[in-house]
Structure 1
Amino acid sequence: MRPAIRAARAEDLPELVALDEVCFGSEAWSAGAWVDEFERLSEDRVILVADEGRVVGYAVLLVPPVLEDVVEVLRVAVTPAERRTGIGGQLMVMALDRCAGRTVLLEVAASNESAIGLYRGFGFGEISRRRGYYGGGEDAVIMRWREET
């Protein structure tokens, strides 16, 4: 069964917090940070979830109301058991559909080769690095996407 990609709902919050902890460990957002994200949904946040009867993935976007401002992909995660099944790609398709005509930025750990490959497959290209940004001195790769017209 392919998951349904849909907008997050308040009842998804506990599953999102738990999945974030599994995927990001010490870098996970706190429950309070997730509540703040939900409070901003009507302003500039989009949270998409992959739903298979439970949340198996999510993407969080910062979508400023001014069309000339860049969109930021703040977070993408898929439960470890569901990785390499296409769920990350499904989330990216839906996320980028919401960004038509806009520039999108994201950052990813330089060692996260599978995520970098996913993003490159969608047309993201590296534009810079933040040296030593992550714990242990790992670089953050900054990537940009712009829809071709």
Structure 2
Amino acid sequence: MTADDLPALVALDEVCFGSEAWSTVSWAAEFDRLSEDRVILVADEGAIVGYVVLLVPPVALDVVELLRIAVAPAGRRTGIGGQLMTAALSKCSGRTVLLEVAAGNESADGLYRAFGFEEISRRRGYYAGGEDAVIMRWRETV
């Protein structure tokens, strides 16, 4: 992905996350950190249809955070999310990955569990409307 992808990523994020979408400034900050500790992978089918953002600390013992993953509504249930997750986890060999998901997001929960993520904690009432945030962990199995 390149900085030219920024407008498309911002637009897709708004479609997928609504009021919780990252701003253009936030996305630009993610781009600025690509050479430091960010990995951003994009699914491109002639247009950006999905993305995943990872925080990958340089110290191998530190956990990786899956900060964001999204697929355009028209691309859901087509395997794009699984392809993005496979690509993301391939960048995390030997590391632990953490993510947070809204308790009611059943499709995301299903994707994460299919890849071996397990619930390890909850933040009660974390989201607007009182919904819990579920903290999940993935550890590469050998």
Aligned length, in residue pairs: 142
Structure 2: stretches of 5+ with no match in the other structure? none
| Secondary structure of 1:132's aligned partner | coil
Q: Structure 1 residue 10: deviation in Å?
A: 1.0
Question: What TM-score, normalized to structure 1?
Answer: 0.94
| Secondary structure of 2:132's aligned partner | strand
Q: Structure 1 residue 59: deviation in Å?
A: 0.2
Displaced runs of 4+ in structure 1, greater than 2 A?
A: none
Could you tell me how far apart the structure 2 residues matched to 1:32 and 1:59 are?
Answer: 18
Work out which of the residue numbers 99, 111, 124 in structure 1 matches 2:117: 124
Could you tell me how far apart the structure 2 residues matched to 1:9 and 1:112 are?
Answer: 30
Work out which of the residue numbers 103, 113, 117 in structure 2 matches 1:110: 103
Amino acid at match of 2:15: V
Could you tell me how far apart the structure 1 residues matched to 2:27 and 2:123 are?
Answer: 25
Residue 53 (1) aligns with residue 46 (2):
yes
User: Could you say which residue in structure 2 is the equivalent of 1:5?
Assistant: none
% identical aligned pairs: 78
Question: What TM-score, normalized to structure 2?
Answer: 0.99
Residue 64 (1) aligns with residue 39 (2):
no
User: Could you say which residue in structure 2 is the equivalent of 1:4?
Assistant: none
| Secondary structure of 1:92's aligned partner | helix
Structure 1: stretches of 5+ with no match in the other structure? 1-7
Amino acid at match of 1:141: V
Could you tell me how far apart the structure 2 residues matched to 1:37 and 1:51 are?
Answer: 19
User: Could you say which residue in structure 1 is the equivalent of 2:22?
Assistant: 29
Residue 142 (1) aligns with residue 135 (2):
yes
Structure 1 vs Structure 2 CA RMSD:
0.5
Amino acid at match of 1:22: V
